[in-house]
């Protein structure tokens, strides 16, 4: 690998690192917001799990984003399961 390629890879990796940090920040905001919904539901004795809402979120994202739909589904199922586990 030549010097130019190494510099290019290094630059792209730095960009990915920045994007990863942004993803984590957004995920933290999502978790905080979801926790507020959970608290409201708990106070009102409303079931926390809402499969219909989960499907709506996933289906909406699958239609509007240029990311592989299977990947979107896997990521969001993990997020939803984590939130329902109460280990936030």
State mean pLDDT over 57-74. Answer: 91
Q: Give residue 20's pLDDT band: very low, low, confident or very high (50, 70, 90).
A: very high
State mean pLDDT over 54-59. Answer: 96
Q: If we measure between CA atoms, which residue out of 38, 40, 42 comes closest to residue 30?
A: 38
Average pLDDT, the chain: 94
Q: Give residue 66's pLDDT band: very low, low, confident or very high (50, 70, 90).
A: confident
| CB 58, CB 76: distance < 8 Å | yes
Q: If we measure between CA atoms, which residue out of 77, 48, 51 comes closest to residue 62?
A: 77
Q: Where in the chain are the domains?
A: 1-46, 49-88
């Amino acid at each position: 690998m030549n010097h130019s390629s190494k510099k290019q890879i290094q630059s792209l990796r730095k960009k990915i690192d920045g994007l990863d940090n942004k993803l984590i920040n957004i995920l933290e905001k999502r978790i905080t917001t979801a926790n507020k919904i959970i608290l409201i539901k708990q106070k009102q004795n409303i079931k926390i799990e809402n499969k219909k809402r989960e499907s709506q979120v996933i289906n909406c994202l699958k239609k509007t984003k240029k990311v592989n739909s299977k990947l979107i589904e896997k990521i969001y199922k993990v997020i939803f399961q984590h939130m329902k586990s109460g280990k936030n």
